[in-house]
Copies of this chain bind each other. A is one copy, B any other.
Amino acid sequence: MRVLVTGGAGFLGARLARHLLLKGHLAAEAIDELVLTDLTPPPADLLTDARVRALTGALLAQREALSRESFHAVFHLAAAVSAECETDFDLGMRSNLDSTRALLDSLRASGNAPRFVLASSVAVFGSDPYLPMPPVIRDETLPTPQSSYGIQKFIAEQLVADYTRKGFIDGRNVRLMTVVVRPGRPNGAASSFLSGIIREPVNGHEAVCPVPLETRVALASPSRTIEGLIRMAEAARAELGGRTAVNLPALTVSVGEMLDALETVCGAQTRARVRLEHDAVIARIVGGWPAAFDLSRAARLGLAPNPDFISIVREFLAERAAEAPGRS
C-alpha cells in the first residue's frame, strides 16, 4: 500500500513515518511506499529507506500532482500553528483550510477513497461568552473555538466528515492533546513552556514556568500521540461509531505535579533550574484550555492516556539517550 504523510518532516510527522516504516504495515497491508510532503525535506534517516519518497514544497501547490497518485492511507499533519494563525489570518486560512480542502479534492479526484486521518486539535475547545466550557470535555461537547487555528481545524473536521459521508474518502477526525515533551528549542507557542520546563533543565539549562503550580493541563507523550493516530487509521468504521471527532486520551496533571515528577526522576538539582515567573498573558491562555476529558470513546478503541507524568519524563530521557548515545 502507498501511504501519504503531510507535514512529514515535522516533529510528529517524521516520528510517525519512522514508526510506520518499523511496523511495516497498516491495517494488515504491507507499506510499499511512504510519501512525505512538507515545506522542507524529511530528516536524513528517513530518506535512506527505499520505501520513502519526499515531495518538498507547499501542499497547496502539489494539488495536481497528488490527484494523479493513488494513496491507500493519508495522515494529514501539515498545518500552520496557532500563534502564526493568530498573527497572520490569511496564512492560517491558506495553510489549514485551503490546503486541507485541496488535499481532499485531490484524493476525491484520484477516486480510491483512502483512509484519511486528520490531525485535529484540542484547540477547537474554548470558552464562548455564552458557553463556558464544562468541567469535563466529552466527544459530544460543542467546540466554540477561540482562535483562528481552532476554527480552521474544526472546519477541516466538518469537511472530512462530509467527504467521508459522500464516499470520497474514509476519514477519521482525531483531536491531539498538547504533546509533551517536545524536543528542540522553545518556540512562541503559549504551550511551549510545558515541554520547556522538562527539556531545558534536563539539558542543563534554566527554564521559566509562567503559570501557577496548581494550573491543570491535559497532556500526551509523543509515543501515545503516534499510537493514537495509527489506531485511528486502523480502526474499522464500526469501531469508530460515527464521524464525530475522537478526543485522544489525555493525562490530566498540575504543573506542580510535572515538576515533582521531574525531581523524582532527575533530582532536586534539575528541578531547581526551573524558575517561577508569572506571565499573566500565558497564565490566562493556558488556564482557558480544557484540562479534563471523558475518555470512554477512546478507551473503547483501546487507547489509554499515559499512566503518570513520571513515565512521560522517562520516555523523553530514553529517546534523548537513543538519539545521542554518548550523552549521559
Contact = CB atoms under 8 A, between A and B. Distances in A.
Contacts of A154: 158
Interface residues of A, number: 29
Contacts of A146: 165
Given A140-B142, A142-B142, A158-B154, A131 B244 contact: yes
A274 interface: no
Which label, helix, strand, loop or mixed, suits the secondary structure of the A interface? loop
A142 B141 contact: yes
Taking the full assembly, how many copies of this chain does it contain? 2
A151 B154 CA distance: 11
Given A141-B142, A145-B162, A162-B148, A241 B130 contact: yes
A189 B216 CA distance: 49
A36 interface: no
Contacts of A240: 130
B297 A241 contact: no
Contacts of A142: 140-143, 244
Contacts of A159: 151, 155
Given A130-B297, A161-B151, A242 B145 contact: no
Contacts of A162: 145, 148, 151
A148 B243 CA distance: 14
